[in-house]
Amino acid sequence: MNKNVTICVLVLLILLVGVAYAEEQEHASVNAAVKAIENIYRLFLKMTLPSSLDQYYINSTPEVVGNDYLVEMFKMAGMMQVIAEEMQARDFTSSKNTFNAFSIQYNNVSKMVPEWKKYFDKKLVVQLGKDIDENNVSKTLTDLGKLGENVCAKCHRNNKPQVWAKYYWKDFRTVNVSTPAGNMSWPAAKAIFVASSFDGATINLAEGRRDAANQSAERFTSMFSNVTKACDSCHTTERKYFVSADVIDLVNQYEARIKAGDLENAQILQGQIGEQCMRCHITHEGQQRMKEMMD
């Protein structure tokens, strides 16, 4: 009987080891697949923008609109809108003149980024000219809509996010924050000092460690003030969210509640502060992650 039990136990152990090994192999396979997908996505982001576009953004500054390509694109878009207005006003002579200028502009813009010529439908532009020659208002508006949606919007959907990420979005790694260890880039300062002090206060509050919670809260309050100043490197106007006066007041109340021993209400305030932190993450983190993937 004991021998049979021993055999059963050995068989069970072998089965358990086999299951564990299979699970480990499955996890390794899943991890490898995830890594491969991440690398493909990175490669996709890097390859979606042609190198010929760089020449128009050489002197561009993050968040500052204006470059040679965008100026010509705006001219072209403006002409399309004018054609629509003039046709609806039945000013066919002006419509034809505007179309002639638009046709030249469309052709010129199509050559600025050779890799994007596929997005330009010159046959549809020719058809648009015929619509205007025939004084056909409804057909002109329909073809303008096709040009805007099937051509312009398609290019925008495929490329705008990457263009904004590469040329217009500021990199948070260039934003410095004052910390007890000196100036640090925002990602490092957030991880080492801001998030750690906030999370430390969370744990200490939950476990009723008042003194430890107070120390964490003091560090967080100090760092939050420094973060507020760091935001000025991007934002030159008064902040009305995330680091605004009402949120700063919440942070100050939070520290005061802990010092007063009112840990219950301190936890409520901490939840409200955490919500503001999350809103900031939702607003800014997506673009930063995308920018990092493109590097």
pLDDT in tens, 137-174: 999 999 999 999 999 999 999 999 888 888 888 889 99
Q: Are residues 154 and 176 in the same domain?
A: no
pLDDT at residue 12 tops 80: no
pLDDT at residue 28 tops 80: no
Is 42 part of a structural domain of the chain?
yes
Q: Are residues 87 and 128 in the same domain?
A: yes
Q: Which residues contact 140 (CB under 8 A, 6 or more apart)?
A: 83, 84, 87, 95, 128, 131, 132
pLDDT at residue 289 tops 70: yes
Is 58 part of a structural domain of the chain?
no
Which tokens is 121 given? Answer: 């439908």
According to the model, what pLDDT value does residue 4 have?
57
Could you tell me the pLDDT band of residue 176, with boundaries at 50, 70 and 90? Answer: very high
pLDDT at residue 2 tops 90: no
Q: Which residues contact 190 (CB under 8 A, 6 or more apart)?
A: 177, 227
Enclosing domain of residue 151: 68-168
Q: CB of 169 within 8 A of CB of 295?
A: no
pLDDT in tens, 86-99: 999 999 999 999 99
Is 63 part of a structural domain of the chain?
no
Q: Are residues 199 and 253 in the same domain?
A: yes
Q: Is the pTM of this model over 0.85?
A: no
- DSSP state for residue 171 in the 8-state scheme: P
pLDDT above 70 coverage of the chain, percent: 88
Is 57 part of a structural domain of the chain?
no
User: How many independent structural domains does the chain possess?
Assistant: 3
Q: Are residues 164 and 176 in the same domain?
A: no
pLDDT in tens, 207-257: 888 889 889 999 999 999 999 999 988 888 888 889 999 999 999 999 999
According to the model, what pLDDT value does residue 121 have?
96
Q: Are residues 287 and 196 in the same domain?
A: yes
Q: Which amino acid is at 125?
A: V
Q: Cα–Cα distance between 225 and 247 in angstroms, integer?
A: 11
- Which 3 state secondary structure label does DSSP give 176? strand
Greater pLDDT, 5 or 60: 60
Q: Are residues 120 and 181 in the same domain?
A: no
According to the model, what pLDDT value does residue 210 have?
85
pLDDT at residue 76 tops 80: yes
